[in-house]
Amino acid sequence: MSGEVAKAVMFVGTSSSVGKSILATALCRILAQDGYRVAPFKAQNMSLNSAVTPSGREIGRAQAVQAEAAGILANEHMNPVLLKPTAGRTQVIVQGRVWDTLSAKEYFLAGKDRLWPYVVESYEFLSSRWDVVVLEGAGSPVEMNLKSRDIANMRAAELANAAVFLVTDIDRGGIFAAIVGTLQLLTPAERNLVKGIVVNKFRGDKELFVEGVRMLESYTGLPVVGVIPHLGDLGIDEEDSVGLDNPRYRLPQGQEEIRVAILQLPHLANFTDLDPLFLEPGVAPYFATEPAQLAGADGIILPGTKSTMADLEWLFAKGWQKEILRLVANRKHVLGICGGYQMLGHVVQDPHHQESQWDERAGLDLFPALTGILPEKRTVLSEGVLQGPFSGLKVKGYEIHMGETTLIGPDAPLPFAVLRKEVAAQSRSDGAISSDGRIIGTYLHGILHNDAFRTAWLNEIRREKGQSPQPVRVLTAQVRTQAYDRLATAVRSHLNMDLFYQLSGFN
């Protein structure tokens, strides 16, 4: 199909969190398995879970995952508009670069009209280079007070002339009203783009829903192309913080070898950094929502945040620092990632008021470090070699931050890693590590996806507890590959693929 305009298939939902991202990921994998060159596309995404492309651009994590499932490298055109809410405002990322920071009202009234040309440019970039583009909508396509300015749903579908499939979450209930109501509120032209219905997250015996399928088809005149079962613990990155409602992230009740508490910061970002810990046998990671839940933890992680200043204010106001410092005094391990690393230092300064109206906030003072929030954001893939107790281990990750941290004073710790500069053969330092290795700070998102480091870090905790060290027990790259294949197999077996291809114009 080289040189031709790509076919386009799109999932829109009757509401948020009906499973559009997961189904788009599955379809990217299925189409790739079936021999098509496929790319994902989401015109506008709102998420604090993001990723960095090989070209150093920032996009929504879901589109990076979908690209990986399709077997291709991610690029900035797969998610031309990314919204990252912060304290009272939203950072607008356009084609991978910071475009502006706006209030909700400013974006609602003016921002979207100015952004549509970028959406068109990015879609045309993909359409001219791949056989199929899999589009994903956002929320519902019929939020009537927002619809005239909606660039993520039916306007994108019309741009692509996409075969649209309406996805609904039966686990929530009310799907008949949701489906019929959504279709009724579409314009005739939009309605003509909808080719079928997908019922998602079904629990129980599908034979008992046969009559429901017949009624849906009779009432809407559209075929139900699939009834997809509820697929739990897929091992695939969550799109946004709604995923934290999963009980697997809560305080464990068992007697696991190791308990790792993760602070659930108000502006938590890139929490997929922690996913590999949830795969480790004998390890019980959990998101702590109050200081008392740190009791009994063997390790503490301060994750990334979109607003270090606001989350530092919250951390001190709620008394977290007392519990953290108590555990440090008891020789527990602490890992700070990106904004979490900034919090470990002496002070964070925001002279340009990029994140807040405060000039500075005191940190936990676990490192003699000064962080300044800068106007320019750094987004880059990085790799290098660790220092200190983990000396010689090679790691990879990505950086997304607007801060620069400087280690100060005669007692400044070793850097955590020496990274290769992305252009020249020069190197640069990242993060900090205490002499005993118990306190670590790094700007590297994805650090725990490095199997050797994650195992070594957990083994240090095991050693402190008098337990035997363990070999690498989880290969994250292999887990991800298997997860994509497992997802594709599950969706393929419950989606009428012959009908889906026919309705999408493949036959």
* Domain boundaries along the sequence of the chain: 7-44+63-72+116-235+482-503, 258-466
* Fold equal for 7-44+63-72+116-235+482-503 and 258-466: yes
Positions of the chain with pLDDT under 70 = 1-3, 87, 110-111, 233, 235, 237-251, 253-255, 421-425
* CATH architecture of structural domain 7-44+63-72+116-235+482-503: 3-Layer(aba) Sandwich (3.40)
Quick one: pLDDT at residue 48? 87
Quick one: pLDDT at residue 2? 42
Quick one: pLDDT at residue 236? 72
Quick one: pLDDT at residue 1? 40
Quick one: pLDDT at residue 375? 86
Catalytic position from the list 77, 333, 401, 445: 445
Return the closest-CA partner of residue 322 out of 338, 307, 300, 337.
300
Q: List C-alpha distances in Å: 48 to 404, 432, 446.
A: 20, 25, 15
Domain 258-466 sits in CATH at 3.40.50.880
Residue 28 among the catalytic residues:
no
Residue 338 among the catalytic residues:
yes
Strand partners, 372: 349, 404
Catalytic position from the list 338, 401, 449, 494: 338
3-state SS assignment for residue 369: strand
